[in-house]
Structure 1
Amino acid sequence: MKEIRERLDEIAEERTQFHLNEVVPQSGAEVGEERQTGSIITQSHVYGRDEDKEIIVENLVNPVACCDDIFVYPIVGIGGLGKTTLAQMVYNDERVGMHFELRIWVCISEDFSVKKIIKAIIGSATGTACEDLELDPLQRRLQDILNRKRYLLVLDDVWSEDEEKWDRLKCVLACGSTGASIIVTTRSRKVASIMGTFPMHHLSGLSEDECLLLFKERAFGQEKEERPNLVAIGKEIVKKCRGVPLAVKSLGSLMRYKSQSNF
């Protein structure tokens, strides 16, 4: 018990040192909006994901990927590792753009409503808001859009482990041409095993050097001259982030807006 109390005291001290404050969301709607994602890469530079991107792109455009069933490629990793960013890199790769006739991006999150997802797919594919129709006309409209097309669909941030819902959606999607593919990003290995038709791609953490580069970008911005004392602190912070880019970016941004005297 004494050791546990001492460890909790250390964590509390680090929280104060790094100016980490608890924030309570005001409403569920705001949280949902924050978690929405799109296909456009919003980072100026992505560190340490070129090899992952190459592996996935090769599997998507390689003839081996052209099987009779829909090719479903799961990207799996803990929160904050950059699964969405990696999917965006693949989605925007020139080879992928040339290979697929149609590219579609849909953010799923926790609400795996088949009807809602179909509407979102239609909206992304056509660039216009979808009418609020019943399920059957929505299914038929989606199949008209996808029929005999080699499409790429990204289903980002999937949480639902309900296999029956996935089977219902998959049946509607199974109308494309040979090579039609789906990328699924998820934190859950079970989701990946339910949805995937190809071995899951496990996303690992960044190396310490890659994390430090990312931290410097966030902490120092366009400054050309590094401050050795802050870099030293940054190295210690990076070690505690355990290769998670989101943690590195968050703490780097915090340091950027604190004066040198605060450290």
Structure 2
Amino acid sequence: MAATMIGGAFLSATVHTLVEKLASTEFLDYIKNTKLNVSLLRQLKTTLLTLQAVLDDAEEKQINNPAVKQWLDDLKDAVFDAEDLLNQISYDSLRCKVESTQVGSKTNQVWNFFSSPFKNLYGEINSQMKIMCESLQLFAQHKDILGLQTKSARVSRRTPSSSVVNESVVVGRKDEKETIMNMLLSQRDTTSNNIGVVAILGMGGLGKTTLAQLLYNDKEIQQYFDMKSWVCVSEDFDTVRVTKSLLESVTSRTWECDNLDILRVELKKNSREKRFLFVLDDLWNDNYNDWDELVSPFIDGKPGSRVIVTTRLEKVAEVAHTFPIQKLEPLSNEECWSLLSKHALGNDEFHNSKNTNLEEIGKKIARKCGGLPIAAKTLGGLLRSKPCI
């Protein structure tokens, strides 16, 4: 039963990784410049999301329902085939990027994309994608026959982030942290209004919030800034809520007022002539006017004041940043394995021979995490609760 649970979580992590990859800006930008069928990729993403919604229910029912177990086993094969195909596309994207840096003119770059050999490659991938979409759609149809449902009880709003971080289980990001630290502590001003904005960009689950937490709690940062505040913005962008949260943080008191003008005046007053660090985590709104209104109370801060923005959307980063955008890359397989093992056993060393099987399973899962820390952490926690696998 434990092995079955791990297998189900393994599948969930893979589907999550594929959906995130299909939605990533880098992946979409590459697709636009090729002969790949965009509608098939959208169809693939939609079908994966449909299947993802019922995986929790299927993982529970497979224990007593052989038909559901067979459905899951067959689905794993189909999903792993989809993973192989998307990896092939990612590899081709990387190859084109490398080749484009070696070609001097844009004319040659365009020729590289659309020359005969690549047309053949894209045609082959499109054919595979069509077969894959049809296969996964059959699984989506069978879910209804099997009575699989979305586990609505488990679907809830994501818990807002906070500034608190457990550094003992953080893996990697040392270079990224050092780069951003230099920006935060830089004496040079990047704008005329004393505010420097560092945008951390990356797909969901890549560790943007964790990196911001590490920076926020760094001792050097704490000594350098006069005040700090952390707000989780999220998709539901509300200027009043964000402004109030910042004000409540810097004043250490609750504000009952919802009058935006009063809140902004008070925030401006409390941040005036102070070097502050504000973190706006998980920002989705890419409207420049909204951004300008949000940060207008910050302009009287002491020179050297900084704002860190974390976001999944490149356009948001482009609107907000004053320093170079910091785009996070996936963790390596080794880093994923280290993170997974920290959560599985509380450390990243397997000295005890009885954990040989667990280590083998863990390393295999780590390779399937797609470099996403959230996947490694989630599956590590599941392995921790099943030590007898």
- The two structures have a TM-score, normalised by structure 2, of 0.59
Separation in 2, partners of 1:23, 1:157? 26
Structure-2 change in CA distance of 1:123 and 1:192 (3 Å): same
Contact 1:67/1:178 (8 A) holds in 2: no
CA positional deviation for 1:161: 1.6
Identity %: 37
* Structure 1 SS opposite 2:188: helix
Provide the C-alpha distance between the structure 2 equivalents of 1:23 and 1:218, rounded to a whole number of angstroms: 28
Matched, 1:24 2:151: yes
Q: Which moved more, 1:96-105 or 1:169-178?
A: 169-178
Shift of 1:241: 0.5
- Structure 2 residue aligned with 1:171, among 296, 308, 316? 296
Q: Is 2:334 the partner of 1:209?
A: yes
Counterpart of 2:183 in structure 1 is: 59
**Alpha-carbon shift at residue 221 of structure 1 (Å):** 3.1
Distance 1:73 1:234 in 2: 35
Is 1:231 matched up with 2:359? yes
Give a deviation string over 1:21-65, Cα, whole Å, max 9, x none. 98734488x414x2x111111353211022211111111112134
How many aligned residue pairs are there? 249
Using the alignment, how far apart are the partners of 1:97 and 1:9 within structure 2?
47
Does the CA-based 8 Å contact 2:275-2:301 persist in structure 1?
Answer: yes
Q: TM-score, normalised by structure 1?
A: 0.86
Structure 1 residue 74 corresponds to structure 2 residue 199: yes
Deviations 1:146-191 (A, max 9, x none): 1111111000010112222111112222121211110000011010
User: What is the distance in 2 between the residues matched to 1:167 and 1:259?
Assistant: 52
Map 1:1-263 → 2, pairs under 5 A: 8-11=75-78, 24-26=151-153, 30-32=156-158, 34=159, 36-65=160-189, 67-69=191-193, 70-221=195-346, 225-226=352-353, 227-261=355-389
Determine the C-alpha separation between the residues in 2 that align with 1:248 and 1:130: 39
Distance 1:105 1:259, change over 3 A: closer
The whole-number CA distance in structure 2 between the counterparts of 1:221 and 1:92 is 22
Structure with greater contact order relative to length (CA < 8 Å, sep ≥ 6): 1
Cα 1:218–1:133, aligned 2, differ >3 Å: closer, same or farther? closer
Label 1:135 to 1:27 Cα distance change in 2 as closer, same or farther (>3 A): farther
Change (3 A) 1:184 1:13: closer
Distance 1:105 1:47 in 2: 22
What root-mean-square deviation, in Å, do the aligned CA atoms of Structure 1 and Structure 2 show? Answer: 2.7
Write the letter of the residue equivalent to 2:181: V
What letter matches 2:182 in structure 1? E
2:172 is aligned with what amino acid?
Answer: G
Q: How many Å apart are 1:131 and its aligned residue? A: 2.2
Q: Segments of 4+ in structure 1 off by > 4 A?
A: 4-9, 11-14
- Give the Cα separation in 2 of the matches to 1:175 and 1:65: 14
Mapped to 2, the partners of 1:104 and 1:250 lie a distance apart of 28
Contact 2:190–2:322, Cα closer than 8 Å, also in 1: no
Q: Which moved more, 1:240-249 or 1:130-139?
A: 130-139
Distance (Å, rounded) in 2 between the aligned partners of 1:229 and 1:44: 25
Deviations 1:192-224 (A, max 9, x none): 001111111011111111111111122223675
1:24 partner letter? K
Q: Which SS does the other structure have where 1:75 is aligned?
A: strand
1:31/1:90 Cα in 2 relative to 1: closer, same or farther (>3 Å)?
same
Q: Alignment partner of 1:149: what SS? A: coil
